[in-house]
Amino acid sequence: MSEPVIEVAGINKAFSGNRVLNNIDLAVHSGEVVCLCGENGCGKSSLIKIISGVYSSDAGSISIKGVNYPSLTAPQSINAGIQVIYQDFSVFRNLTVAENISLSYRVQKKKWFINYDFNRALARKALALIGANLDADEEIERLSVAEKQLVAIARAIVQDASLVIMDEPTTAITQKEIEKLFAVIRGLKEKGIAVMFVSHKLDEIAAICDRIVIMRNGKKVVDSPVADFETERIAYYMTGQEVSETPFEYIPAGGRPMLEVENAARSGEFESVSFSVKPGEILAITGQLGSGRTELAKSLFGLAPIQSGKIKIEGRETRIASIKDAFANGIAYLPEDRLGEGLFLNRSLGENFSSAIIDSMAGPLGLIREKRFEELSARWMEELNMSRKPYTTPASDYSGGNQQRIVLGKWLAARPRIFILNCPTVGVDVKSKSEIHEIMKRLARQGLSIIMISDDIGEIISTSNRVVIMNAGRVTLEAETNGITADEISRRILADAPRHGETE
């Protein structure tokens, strides 16, 4: 095997006496794709920050391409060829593709005068190296998530990257875009560039990585070729427990649907959408980003009301023109962006759990007893299998999986009849994902009607009883999940939308 691009030995790190990294040894070689995985809080983010010079280790050594660094700084890490692409890609939305790709390079090389022709030429060369066909003069804010990611990768290439670390790179992109990303990663590998791929998605780990490094509670517990592991064993080493899921079984109880949508449309977003959901069902809606799936969900919650068609609740035609209307009709919505739209990060657990029902908690004078916050928090921490902390604890103190449960609890406290969940397990670890799925199944068994938007095909198969596929704003397929394969769902997601007038 080639000489390691980077080698860390005996790395230790503690914060306020809490050890987050315990004697970590790790080497990554040229042209190797290594998956770094583990549950949230396992220490992988701290390790990445030490490799990139953001944190300094308390003990241990770092060697990059044979050069030892007793104390690595961020500029030293970058100059040595280490590039980290975070989930937000750290791009400047108001600058062009060329300006974003060339900016860090110009700073690194101390080229202080702007040469637009040079910027474009540099960007086009970098984009060509990864097979990306982007306009160098396009502003970043006009690009899709996947295109912004390509810009971030191209920016790493022009800085002579020898190791590219990608933090959850597939969180917000579609299956088709994931396949393109994997092609780019394989191209980097062929050029001898090492890639560290951080992911919770076990199928992706098997598809793209050569080796897997699993961390748990600040320790490295596995460092072996991916081919040596079944996905179930990967989950076991990540959590320290057997993680398995029982497929959702819907037991029809007869009666009318809880929700019926008939020929719903909103200009430029979706058209002629029809489906229904009965009590106790989990209906999955999937499709590529831009298919209209999220826009449809927001319309059902009154954020952007439908312009034509009908919505019926228990057989009664209902106008959902606002969130207030949705709330009054028992509709709740868990947004995809839990941090930006679902949580009050700096507010307490009690305030978050009560935020959807705050009016009903107040006494005659509009005052709320602290005891009610405490009781509500205790109930939902138990119901949602959360680690117990004081109700005054801010939501920001919880991991991603627990934060998602806080948003679930906030809406469940309002006793909804219809619950729309937009990508409910994005960015959560394997154990939390399984537990959230079990919560959803339990709620369905209790009679809740659930609509789950997801592009995780395994999640769709195991957690829903029916799937609706959307493409270009229209429904292109509706099927029972026990009668369709994952491959067929994937193929139909990627297929072109039918032309007007065509039917299935």
Max mean pLDDT among 94-108, 227-241, 284-298 falls in 284-298
| Per-residue confidence (pLDDT) for residue 320, from 0 to 100 | 96
pLDDT of 89-125, one tens digit each?
A: 788 888 899 998 888 777 766 776 777 888 899 889 8
Q: Which CATH architecture has domain 4-239?
A: 3-Layer(aba) Sandwich (3.40)
| Per-residue confidence (pLDDT) for residue 399, from 0 to 100 | 74
Sequence-separated (6 or more) residues with CB below 8 Å from residue 432? 39, 40, 399, 400, 401, 402, 404, 405, 425
- Lowest model confidence (mean pLDDT) among 7-21, 166-180, 281-295, 487-501: 487-501
| Per-residue confidence (pLDDT) for residue 493, from 0 to 100 | 83
The DSSP-derived string for 287-344 is --TTSSHHHHHHHHTTSS--SEEEEEETTEE----SHHHHHHTTEEEE-S-IIIII--
Residue type, 313: I
| Per-residue confidence (pLDDT) for residue 366, from 0 to 100 | 67
Long-range contact set of residues 172-176: C-beta below 8 Å, sequence gap at least 24: 172/87, 172/145, 172/289, 172/426, 173/145, 173/146, 173/149, 173/289, 174/146, 174/288, 174/289, 174/455, 174/493, 175/288, 175/455, 175/457, 175/490, 175/493, 175/494, 176/288, 176/493, 176/494
Max mean pLDDT among 227-231, 276-280, 290-294 falls in 276-280
pLDDT of 129-158, one tens digit each?
A: 888 889 999 998 888 877 888 888 888 888
- Lowest model confidence (mean pLDDT) among 61-65, 160-164, 363-367, 377-381: 363-367
Q: Which two tokens stand for residue 131?
A: 């097979």
The whole-angstrom separation of Cα 96 and Cα 137 is 5
Mean pLDDT, residues 250-263 taken together:
90
Indicate the burial class of 196 (C-beta count within 10 angstroms; 0-12, 13-18, 19 or more).
buried
| Per-residue confidence (pLDDT) for residue 500, from 0 to 100 | 36
| Per-residue confidence (pLDDT) for residue 305, from 0 to 100 | 95
% of the chain beyond a pLDDT of 70? 95
pLDDT band at 504; cut points 50, 70, 90: very low
With 80 as the cut, is the pLDDT of residue 484 above it?
yes
Compute the mean pLDDT over every residue in the chain, rounded to the nearest whole number.
87
pLDDT of 402-442, one tens digit each?
A: 888 899 999 999 899 999 999 898 777 778 888 899 999 99
Give the residue among 149, 224, 156, 166 at the shortest CA–CA distance from 191. 156
pLDDT band at 266; cut points 50, 70, 90: very high
pLDDT band at 34; cut points 50, 70, 90: very high
With 60 as the cut, is the pLDDT of residue 300 above it?
yes
With 50 as the cut, is the pLDDT of residue 498 above it?
no
Domain ranges of the chain: 4-239, 256-330+416-504, 344-415
Q: Which CATH architecture has domain 256-330+416-504?
A: 3-Layer(aba) Sandwich (3.40)
The whole-angstrom separation of Cα 245 and Cα 96 is 45
Long-range contact set of residues 385-390: C-beta below 8 Å, sequence gap at least 24: 385/435, 385/439, 389/349, 390/349
pLDDT band at 22; cut points 50, 70, 90: very high
| Per-residue confidence (pLDDT) for residue 365, from 0 to 100 | 66
The whole-angstrom separation of Cα 31 and Cα 205 is 16
Mean pLDDT, residues 221-241 taken together:
82
Q: Across the beta sheet with 211-216, what order do the strands follow?
A: 82-85, 163-167, 194-198, 33-37, 211-216, 219-225
Judge whether 4-239 and 256-330+416-504 match in fold: yes
Q: State pTM to two decimals.
A: 0.70
pLDDT of 319-360, one tens digit each?
A: 999 999 999 999 999 988 777 777 888 888 888 888 888 877
With 60 as the cut, is the pLDDT of residue 502 above it?
no
With 60 as the cut, is the pLDDT of residue 161 above it?
yes
| Per-residue confidence (pLDDT) for residue 295, from 0 to 100 | 93
